[in-house]
Structure 1
Amino acid sequence: MQFDRKDKDDQFLLALYKRLLYPRMVEEKMLILLRQGRIGKWFSGIGQEAIAVGSTLAMQCDEYILPMHRNLGVFTARDIPLKKLMAQWQGKLSGFTKGRDRSFHFGTQDYKIIGMISHLGPQMALADGIALADVIANKQHATLVFTGEGATSEGDFHEAINVASVWKLPVIFLIENNGYGLSTPINEQFNCKHLVDRAIGYGIEGHQIDGNNVLEVYDKLDQIAKDIRTNPRPILVECLTFRMRGHEEASGVKYVPQELFEEWAGKDPVKTFEKYLIEQNILTDDLIPSIKTEIKKAIEWDIEAAFDEEEPIANAMLELVDMYYPYQQSVSRATEGQTEKRYLDAITDGLREGMKRFENMIIMGQDIAEYGGAFKITDGFVNEFGKARVRNTPICESAIVGAALGLSINGYKAVMEMQFADFVTCGFNQIVNNLAKTHYRWREKADVVIRMPTGAGTGAGPFHSQSNEAWFTKTPGLKVVYPAFPYDAKGLLIAAIEDPNPVMYFEHKYLYRSLTGLVPTGYYTVEIGKANVLKKGTQISIITYGLGVHWALDYLKEHPEVSATLVDLVSLQPWDKETVSAAVKASGRVLILHEDTLSSGFGAEVAAWIGEHCFSDLDAPVMRCASLDTAIPMNKVLEDDFLAKKRLGEMVEKLLKY
């Protein structure tokens, strides 16, 4: 291994050696603790320290780094106290996640490190969002994100690099190629000769370097970071390395040929650099033991101190509260006059008011810029707010949800349009595992709104007409709203934008141009979690939301003899249990109506809650009227038969006769 010190002085090289040695000695201590049974799991990065340490030191301290689960050197090079790290690994209350997540699955704004989740790849899109925020704010910053060679097969890898390339984002995508994805060798992972060659396909630069040479890593990353701070663009770096331990200690290393260990032992990043420093007369055989003794003493103290830290105490109320970023909505009342507007135009107004009120708000989505979106909701926004804030995206839902979270982490508000709610499946992991869990895990907000054009009635078939709100109402950490009227559509959207928590905003496509109503001209909000009582009656209570509200209104208009209380839930997470309870008491008979399929639809949750909490007020079983448990057909005759509307009258009559 050839080291080139260039213009680095002895003091810098000695400090670099200590930075490299420290995580190695921490890891060696972890292996001892593992054998002693004092810790239960460890993902070792022994043999790969030069990458983590060298690249981290090349970044400025106020630049974000997004590491993986064996990059201890990133955390130690950012000077996070080992006691704090050990508390995290042991699930202590003083850890970064209060015992809620493991190892390096955490983030910290104090040290500008954003940890991974177990799913490989999603952190790369977060890096895009973080870098985008820097570009929009005219900050000359770079962002560094790690991935492994195995994760380069994930769609998140390709989506994130493509977005960064198209948007010219200053992101360093660093691949640690250690030859194995858990036990699967690289020849069974990909068929290209070098991973760095993938850069060509995205039209970006790529560099392959010796990941065990700490000076080469530092110099190349330092050079790249300086360059892209002033000339923003992504760069792919492949670091060739080898891990000397298993994927994690329990997995062992029997699947790795012994000759590979022998070969790479000669390239050990700590030992080879130590030897070089001795040759340069910077280190001596007498000095090394004293350095190691000093480090060992500090490690022992920090680790034992962490073991003595307080364990979490189970507190169900605190756990529930911590799913969401602390926020108390203050409802803004309308102060200006009202005009008749379509449901679609009310949504446009809500977005416009949000963009005017919050200069740090970014809108992203497919075709939303010059084209104005598939439904023309953002028509004219580019001229009004500029391309930086109204962004067309490539067709890659996962990367854009991740980028939205990255924007939030770096101080922005993000509103993403799913072109159709059905397409959310391609971004599902980012929503339910990143957006929803971020605050619970490490107390960071996820200031993101995802607009979900949803529902049937337009003959669009199985992939453009699904009602999928129930996928998200059962996911703690998300808020879910579903306006049925133009007034609520505007006020709820502004409220969702104000809220620093992730909000799924469902908007019904059938109502876009078919429904009008009075909408205040200026800025106002609707309370999230508050239902509307549209009618009061004594025979039956219909609890519904979305298009179901209009089905119910039409039915009651055609049947004035039915005395009904009609509740529009408006918000599905949280939902208004107090208003529902009052509706149950008003009639004793409850019909829950929704467009979604019957089995496991959101109505099942409402029905279960009523049965558990309002049983004494019921005069009949809680009944549900929902769509068929099938996919949604395209043909209008079949679609009409599928939808719950067809069975509404029958269900009302059945309940009234009970």
Structure 2
Amino acid sequence: MSQISSSIHMQYDIKNIEPATLLKLYRNMIKSRLIEEKMLILLRQGKISKWFSGIGQEAIAIGVTMALNKEEYILPMHRNLGVFTSREIPLHKLFAQWQGKASGFTKGRDRSFHFGTQDYNIIGMISHLGPQLGVADGIALASKLKTEQKVTAVFTGEGGTSEGDFHEALNVASVWRLPVLFCVENNGYGLSTPTNEQYNCKNIADRGLGYGMESYIVDGNNIMEVYSKVKELAESIRKDPRPVLFEFKTFRMRGHEEASGTKYVPKDLMDLWAKKDPVVNFELFLKERGFLTDEEESGIKQNITNEINTHLTLAFEEEDITPDEIIELNDVYKHFEYESITSLKESKNIRFIDAISEGLKQSMERHAALVIMGQDIAEYGGVFKITEGFVEQFGKERIRNTPICESAIVEVGMGLAIAGIKSVVEMQFADFVSSGFNPVVNYLAKSHYRWGQSADVVLRMPCGGGVAAGPFHSQTNEAWFTKTPGLKVVYPAFPYDAKGLLATAINDPNPVLFFEHKGLYRSIRQEVPSDYYTLPFGKASLIKTGAEVTIISYGAGVHWAMEVLEKNTSIQADLIDLRTLQPLDTQTIYDSVKKTGKAIILQEDSLFGGIASDISALIVEHCFEHLDAPVKRVASMETPIPFAKQLEAQYLAKDRFEAALLALIAY
């Protein structure tokens, strides 16, 4: 271990802390430091691929972790090795993780600290940094809903505080008074960019005032200051739930990662912070006060070194992963055993929007902890009035108005899932999901594949044109998500399907994007069972049958196709309503095309990159010898969706479908 002069450069106030606790803090810091130094050697030897060093910052991770109870969640970053070791994770599992071995936490699918483990209540980061802050909000919300009196701690760096997720997460935590410790490690540089190029305020802690929350500046190299302050606040927050912002002043003594180096850091600055080494200073202090002898120090370090070497041997001896395609594919989604529930009561003729509302309400009754979140969904009932009256029945804890922060609310849903609570998040309009795109495609979609944590979240997506809502309220953007492994995409066309599929979406532990066409909300009626029932994913509906042509569509497109068939009664067509786009019922498509020999796919989305292109390719690949004509795709124009009625009518695929269908039949 690196050494500095024998004089102590820090002041420690041990208050009434027991000597055993002081030594445990010391052992945990030494353990983290010795592991890091070993990893740097292994990196140079090519035995691990990358390393993000936390040397010089150990006091923060260890002080925070030891100040919390073991059952409380911590969301660390890639420089917080001390969180993992202080929670006493077996070292061979960590080493296997860093070497991409099967016994690691991600089965070789991710590296370093990009993992979580429910066994130790640690939820790892993703490279986008910001999303874990909102996830911490969700875990803390679950604690509050369960009245568990627990604190959640989440880490970020000073660079991460520039991301929108940081501001959204702090705002939500403050508005909802969530028991979250936001721990900002201000180590001077975001990779090579100094703080004066990152933000224009004196202290990050000053931002707490703007969010109406307490904030504190703590010497992040002083283990006693970190431990004592966090422990004090954690005890208070368990009794009086609220968020707190900590700015830990510290310094990164190595590069952002080892390949980066530190040439951009002035030497005098490095020398200054070297004197504040948290491990060496605390060791000298313990010796000076008689809590630690030279012999005890040597014994502690030797025991840890032996532990490191023993566990490294276990990790090195483990065989490399043998790729197995079936295992990889099966781990994308959490296994879901669909339960078919049929209606036992009478049906009633209701609108599409009523079916959605009824399905939500009955799922809320069936799942006692289910939470619905979205803008204006509580007393106002949502912009489409789907949740009108829900607050009176279920209360504001479960029907939660949110600030305008799509990213944070998606992340809150993920945090609730981690804590075992289902949620439904309403995007006021499907268009607005772009403001929360990152956590959907990078957190929700990948969590189960990466480390076995399912994202039990349904995103309701009011979508579609034909209502003169213009470019920002009319998109049907399902193709953004059908290509993302780990997401399920549902897009019903009828009230009966909407209610049953929504129930299944909420039962399914995987993330589901549930598209609801706004133009169908009040224009389509159907007989729908009045009680709770489910419908399976991946099973299309055959609306009409015929031997002449196969028509494939979903959402409003199904109704457009029906209008054309009603107008042209001589056309004998199989009309397939896909209902779910991921999973996709390819068997029904193939069976129909093999029978008719012709296929036309109708989508409301613009043509290029839409799901019609993939379905067309699948048909060509699997049914080519049965085709009597080229597969035809019909879609909307390659423009944003215009507002004016005449322009929108020209944009939509509806008026072009008939001519395309007739031309295909005549081919």
TM tier, smaller? over 0.9
What corresponds to 2:361 in structure 1?
Answer: 352
Deviations 1:518-548 (A, max 9, x none): 1101110111110000000111110000000
Instruction: State how 1:405-444 maps to structure 2 within 5 Å.
Output: 405-444=414-453
What CA distance in whole angstroms lies between the structure 1 residues aligned with 2:536 and 2:310? 51
Distance 2:45 2:443 in 1: 34
Say which SS state the counterpart of residue 107 (structure 1) adopts. coil
What is the match of residue 452 of structure 1?
461
Tell me if 1:539 matches 2:530.
no
User: Matched residues in 1 for 2:54 and 2:262: separation?
Assistant: 14
Q: Distance in 2 between matches of 1:464 and 1:353?
A: 28
Report the RMSD for the aligned CA atoms in angstroms.
0.7
Counterparts of 2:395 and 2:13 in 1: how far apart (Å)?
47
Q: 2:334 corresponds to which letter in structure 1?
A: Y
Matches for 1:80-119 after TM superposition, within 5 Å? 80-119=89-128
**Structure 2 contact 496–526 (Cα < 8 Å) conserved:** yes
Question: Runs (4+) of structure 1 moved beyond 3 Å?
Answer: none
1:549 to 558, 580, 583: 558
1:59 paired with 2:68, answer yes
1:235 corresponds in structure 2 to 244
Per-residue deviation, 1:650: 1.1
> How far apart are 1:286 and its partner, in Å?
3.0
> Aligned pair 1:40/2:25, yes or no?
no
Q: Take 1:37 and 1:618, find their aligned partners in 2: how far apart are those partners?
A: 54
Per-residue CA deviation, residues 265-307 of structure 1 (Å, 9 max, x unaligned), is 1100000000100111111223322221121111111112111
1:9 deviates by 2.2
1:608 maps to a residue whose letter is A
Q: 3-state SS of the aligned residue for 2:564?
A: helix
Q: Tell me if structure 1 keeps the 8 A contact 2:78–2:114.
A: yes
- Residue 557 of structure 2 contacts residue 603 of structure 2 at CA under 8 Å; is this kept in 1? yes
Verify: 1:627 aligned to 2:636, yes or no: yes
1:287 matched to 2:296? The reply is yes
1:582 aligns to what? Answer: 591
The CA deviation string for residues 325-371 of structure 1, in whole angstroms up to 9 with x for no partner, is 11121221111110000000000001001100001100000000000
- Counterpart contact for 2:334–2:510, Cα < 8 Å: yes
Distance of 2:118 and 2:320 partners within structure 1: 24
- Structure 1 window deviating more from structure 2 (32-41 vs 249-258): it is 32-41
Matched, 1:223 2:225: no
Asked if structure 2 preserves the Cα contact closer than 8 Å seen for 1:3 and 1:213, the reply is yes
The aligned amino acid for 1:118 is S
Equivalent in the alignment of 1:616: 625
Provide the residue aligned with 1:497 in structure 2: 506
Residue of structure 2 in register with 1:278 after alignment: 287
Q: After the TM superposition, which residues 161-560 of structure 1 pair with which residues of structure 2 at under 5 Å, given as runs?
A: 161-560=170-569
What amino acid sits opposite 1:261 in the alignment?
A: M
Aligned partner of 2:162 in structure 1 is 153
Q: Is the 8 A contact 2:468 2:644 kept in 1?
A: yes
Q: Please give the secondary structure, in 1, of the residue aligned with 2:659.
A: helix
Cα distance in 1 between the residues matched to 2:319 and 2:424? 40
Unmatched tracts of structure 2, length 5 or more = 1-9
The answer as to whether partners of 1:565 and 1:586 remain within 8 angstroms in 2 is: no
Find the aligned partners of 2:582 and 2:18 in 1 and give their Cα distance.
59
Measure the CA separation in 2 of the matches of 1:16 and 1:235.
23
Conserved in 2, the CA contact under 8 Å of 1:50 and 1:212? Answer: yes
What secondary structure does 2:425 align onto?
strand
Structure 2: distance between partners of 1:171 and 1:10: 29
After superposition, the C-alpha distances for 1:574-611 in whole angstroms (9 at most, x for unaligned) are 01011001110221110000100010111001000000
Q: Indicate the SS of the match to 1:114.
A: coil
| Residue in structure 1 matched with residue 83 of structure 2 by the alignment | 74
3-state SS in 2 of match to 1:614 = helix
Letter in 2 for 1:239: F
Corresponding residue SS for 2:341: coil
Q: Which among 127, 130, 143 is matched to residue 152 of structure 2?
A: 143
User: What are the Cα deviations for residues 360-405 of structure 1, in whole angstroms up to 9, with x where unaligned?
Assistant: 1000000000000010000000000000000000000000000000
The AA in structure 2 aligned to 1:308 is: E
Task: State which drifts further: 283-292 or 424-433.
Answer: 283-292
Say which SS state the counterpart of residue 408 (structure 1) adopts.
helix
Contact 1:537/1:586 (<8 A) preserved = no
Where structure 1 has 5 or more consecutive residues not aligned to the other structure, the ranges are none
Q: Check whether the contact 2:76–2:156 (CA below 8 A) recurs between aligned residues.
A: yes
| Letter matched to residue 405 of structure 2 | C
Distance 1:191 1:396 in 2: 23
Q: Distance in 1 between matches of 2:122 and 2:268?
A: 36
Alpha-carbon distance in structure 1 between the residues aligned to 2:454 and 2:340: 20
Compare 379-388 and 14-23 and name the one that shifted more.
14-23
Q: Output the amino acid matched with 1:132.
A: L
Contact map agreement 2:47 2:99 (CA 8 A) in 1: no
Deviates more, 1:276-285 or 1:349-358: 276-285
1:143-199 C-alpha deviation (Å, 9 max, x unpaired): 000000000000000000000000000000000000000000000000000000000
| Alignment of structure 1 residues 597-616 onto 2, 5 Å | 597-616=606-625
Residue 616 (structure 1) shift: 1.2
CA positional deviation for 1:310: 2.7
Question: For the residues of structure 1 that align with 2:23 and 2:365, how far apart are their CA atoms?
Answer: 53
TM-score by length of 1: 0.99
Which moves more between the two structures, 631-640 or 325-334? 325-334
The TM-score with structure 2 as length reference comes to 0.98
Q: Structure 2: how far apart are the matches of 1:138 and 1:321?
A: 36
Distance, in Å, in 1 between the alignment partners of 2:152 and 2:635 is: 48
Task: State how far apart, in whole Å, the 2-side matches of 1:286 and 1:649 are.
Answer: 89
